[in-house]
Amino acid sequence: MAADDANDLRRALENNEIVPYFQPLVELRTGLLSGFEALARWQHPQRGLIQPNEFIPLAEKSGLHGLLTGKLLSAVFAAAKDIPHHLTLSVNISLTQLTDLSLPKHICFAAEHANFPLQRLILEITESALVGNTEYAARIATELKEQGSRLALDDFGTGYSSLRHLQLLPFDELKIDASFVRSMTHTRESRKIAAAIVGLGNSLNLTTVAEGVESQIIADMLLWLGCDIGQGWLYGRPVPPEQLSEALAERLNSSPAPISSRSVAESSLPLGFEALPTQRLAQLNAIYDGVPVGLCFLDRNLRYVSVNKRLAEIHNLPVASHLGRHISEILGEEKFKYWEPYLQNSLKGERFSEIEARCPDPRHPDIMRTFLVSYEPARDEVDEVIGVSISFVDITSRKRVEEALAESEDHYRHAVELNPQIPWNAEPDGMILDASLRWETLTGLSKEESLGTGWIRAIHPDDVTPTLRAWEKATRTGEPVDMQYRLRCVDGVWRWMRARASPRRDEDGKIIRWYGTLEDIDGHKKAEEALRRSEARLQAIFDVVPFGLVIADAPDGRVVMSNPRAEDILRSVVAPPTLIDDYCRVSQSNAPGGTDGHQPGNPLAKAIMDGRTVGPRECLRYHDDGTSAWVSLSAVPVFDHDGKVSGGVITIQDIDEEKREMERLAELASDLRNKLATHR
């Protein structure tokens, strides 16, 4: 086609040879159809199908762009009668049209003539069309918005883009150019650009649309980045109006394409950490899916941006079912009304920590579960709140223990009230003068049998000597006495008792009487024994785990305890007051040739100082005998009840064999490449 063949184009317009082709737009989260983009095609009788980049410039040059726009919009709106009312239609606006102040009037006339509501119309403007036309574009865009149309910035990042356009013009959507999307699977820079565009769109509350989605892997990547809409061959190629009904029926009648439920860590997606802060939590969830804490991130519209597996289990819903949905859809309106004040105040920058909440278990509604819920506002680089991070800690088991303990304490309190301490008194030399009648009820010994030294007959044989020795010392020195012994009760059971007494003196300081009490401490002693057994079991678990564990105090990182596996990996006894970082770093004195490039930078010190998890990090540990081994280190701060870092825990894993094998394979690959290069 010649560049100046305006007559041919005019004839084509008169014969309705330029028709719209419709390509589906699909919600990435649900796989549901959200609308279509109308793409102009010239069905030339001799040359076949001609793309718009060939005839649009000719229409603008020959002054036929107005006629072209009117014809195309009429065809689009005519075809819209077969499209359900909840779906949108997107149409491109050219450079020349964006300087035509009559454009809004023409669009409005065409829509009214076809009885098409402009609220369903999305007008796409390319970046290049805005260069040098900001004033006209702003006037036209404002009028189009006032008519009800929505605006999308098309092919973002490929032209002479300016963020000022996003500031000045009332855009509703931001479209990622297909060139970036198609190369996401193999080009890191494309992934970073796509993530940046999605992050920019989210921060400006714009719907993000990705063009060129041709595989499910790309769709998954875009979903995890937070993109809203996908467009490309994965969902369907552009079809002419006569095939629209068939394509629409096929799309609406089929089940939505299943959304990948695998986490970033489990998939082969080469995402890394390219996303901006607003998306980074979604990627970190892949790392923290194993922790017993539910985590999620909500944007400023209180919609889920990311959810980890634990929270999905708590809600008894798939991870993908959360993404993009308002929190009220997941919690229900009643629960949302309760939590809404916390969420709204968090969006204003307020923190809330460990708010206790009870709710039925979704899988077992008759069982109540207890959670500690914390809200943390997330801020961007200019300290503006961009969303809320929420954590859910299931404390149901702990709460049951606390309730059982409270109930036990209540029983004990009533027992004490019903069985008060047994008062007694004695002569200055220790001979018992009197005791409460409860002594007789408890031991079966009468008051007469117990006076003097008769009470000793109720004491356990093993406790008689230490008890008499303590009592004799007290009567000799005049110091208060506090002793424990087992007492035989009337039912023949031995119970631990605690006897305390203090002397009463006259004005000269001479002891004239001893007054004391006897209390039942059998439950306390048994609890202490149970605690010691529990500590022994915990110590056994601590010692048997297959990775090294070291616990250290803050702020100096001095070791509190370590397990045998840590000492085995480090080939050294990790004992107080050694600094654990002395073992878990490569020092110049140990490392031949200086510090290794994989130096972890004292991970435990960083965790304690920064108050956050560090690692996992790999480092090369040099032993005293000159050998070395690769280890993986992860450090976690320990917080006290005041929120201050009281210490830290570091885990040490032996990855030497795996690491060495990877290095060997890398060397083999390098040798192979060198040989191939030589043969070329």
Q: How far is CA 337 from CA 270, 309, 326, 504, 642, in A?
A: 40, 25, 13, 64, 30
User: Would you say residue 260 has pLDDT above 50?
Assistant: no
Q: Are residues 499 and 552 in the same domain?
A: no
Q: Is residue 8 part of a domain?
A: no
The CA-based diameter of the chain, rounded to the nearest angstrom, is 133
User: Would you say residue 48 has pLDDT above 80?
Assistant: yes
Note the pLDDT of residue 397: 86
Note the pLDDT of residue 575: 57
Secondary structure element (H or E) that encloses residue 549, with its range: strand 548-553
Alpha-carbon distance of 391 to 375, in angstroms, equals 7
CA-wise closest residue to 275 among 220, 195, 357: 195
Note the pLDDT of residue 504: 93
pLDDT level of residue 602 (50, 70, 90 thresholds): confident
Answer for the pair 18, 68: CB distance below 8 angstroms, yes or no. Answer: yes
Pairing outcome for strands 207-211 and 229-231: parallel
Q: Are residues 241 and 297 in the same domain?
A: no
What is the CATH number for 35?
3.20.20.450
Overall average pLDDT of the 334-348 stretch:
91
Pairing outcome for strands 628-639 and 645-654: antiparallel
Alpha-carbon distance of 583 to 624, in angstroms, equals 11
Note the pLDDT of residue 476: 93
Q: Are residues 573 and 496 in the same domain?
A: no
Q: Are residues 307 and 379 in the same domain?
A: yes
Q: Is residue 560 part of a domain?
A: yes
Note the pLDDT of residue 459: 94
Q: Which domain holds residue 330?
A: 277-398
List alpha helices for 545-611, DSSP H: 564-570, 603-610
Q: Is residue 323 part of a domain?
A: yes
Note the pLDDT of residue 583: 54
Note the pLDDT of residue 376: 93
pLDDT level of residue 60 (50, 70, 90 thresholds): confident
What is the CATH number for 486?
3.30.450.20
Alpha-carbon distance of 574 to 567, in angstroms, equals 6
Most confident option among 376-380, 500-504, 534-538: 500-504
Q: Are residues 238 and 321 in the same domain?
A: no
User: Would you say residue 269 has pLDDT above 60?
Assistant: no
Q: Are residues 197 and 146 in the same domain?
A: yes
pLDDT tens for each residue of 178-231: 989 999 888 888 888 888 889 888 888 899 999 999 999 999 989 988 899 999
Would you call 480 helix, strand, or coil by DSSP? coil
Output phi, psi for 428, to 5 deg.
Answer: -55, -30
Query: Counting Cβ atoms within 10 Å, is residue 9 exposed (0-12), middle (13-18) or buried (19+)?
Result: buried
Q: Are residues 118 and 152 in the same domain?
A: yes
Q: Are residues 517 and 550 in the same domain?
A: no
Of the candidates 465, 495, 526, which is a domain's last residue? 526
Of the candidates 398, 422, 457, which is a domain's last residue? 398
Q: Are residues 238 and 309 in the same domain?
A: no
Alpha-carbon distance of 656 to 553, in angstroms, equals 28
Average pLDDT of the chain is: 82
Domain count, the chain: 4
Q: Is residue 603 part of a domain?
A: yes
Least trusted range by pLDDT, from 74-78, 253-257, 338-342, 351-355: 253-257
Q: Is residue 675 part of a domain?
A: no
Overall average pLDDT of the 279-297 stretch:
66
Higher pLDDT, 167 or 444: 444
User: Would you say residue 623 has pLDDT above 50?
Assistant: yes
User: Would you say residue 546 has pLDDT above 80?
Assistant: yes
Of the candidates 465, 493, 526, which is a domain's last residue? 526
User: Would you say residue 429 has pLDDT above 60?
Assistant: yes
Q: Is residue 271 part of a domain?
A: no
Q: Are residues 377 and 464 in the same domain?
A: no
pLDDT level of residue 162 (50, 70, 90 thresholds): low
User: Would you say residue 380 has pLDDT above 70?
Assistant: no
Share of the chain above pLDDT 90, in %: 28
Show the tokens assigned to 457: 């007959």
Around Cβ 472, how many Cβ atoms within 10 Å? 13
Note the pLDDT of residue 263: 40
Name residues whose C-beta falls within 8 Å of residue 3's C-beta, 6 or more positions apart in sequence: 58, 61
Higher pLDDT, 276 or 483: 483
Note the pLDDT of residue 584: 52
User: Would you say residue 413 has pLDDT above 90?
Assistant: no
Show the tokens assigned to 182: 């198609």
Q: Is residue 266 part of a domain?
A: no
Around Cβ 407, how many Cβ atoms within 10 Å? 10
Q: Is residue 669 part of a domain?
A: no
User: Would you say residue 71 has pLDDT above 70?
Assistant: yes
User: Would you say residue 409 has pLDDT above 80?
Assistant: no
The alpha carbon of residue 210 and the mean position of all alpha carbons in its chain are separated, in whole angstroms, by: 25
Q: Are residues 476 and 566 in the same domain?
A: no
Most confident option among 107-116, 251-260, 567-576, 616-625: 107-116
Query: Counting Cβ atoms within 10 Å, is residue 94 exposed (0-12), middle (13-18) or buried (19+)?
Result: buried
Overall average pLDDT of the 294-312 stretch:
89
User: Would you say residue 591 has pLDDT above 80?
Assistant: no
User: Would you say residue 300 has pLDDT above 50?
Assistant: yes
Q: Are residues 284 and 345 in the same domain?
A: yes
User: Would you say residue 301 has pLDDT above 80?
Assistant: yes
Q: How far is CA 599 from CA 413, 595, 602, 634, 660, in A?
A: 57, 7, 8, 13, 17
Around Cβ 450, how many Cβ atoms within 10 Å? 20
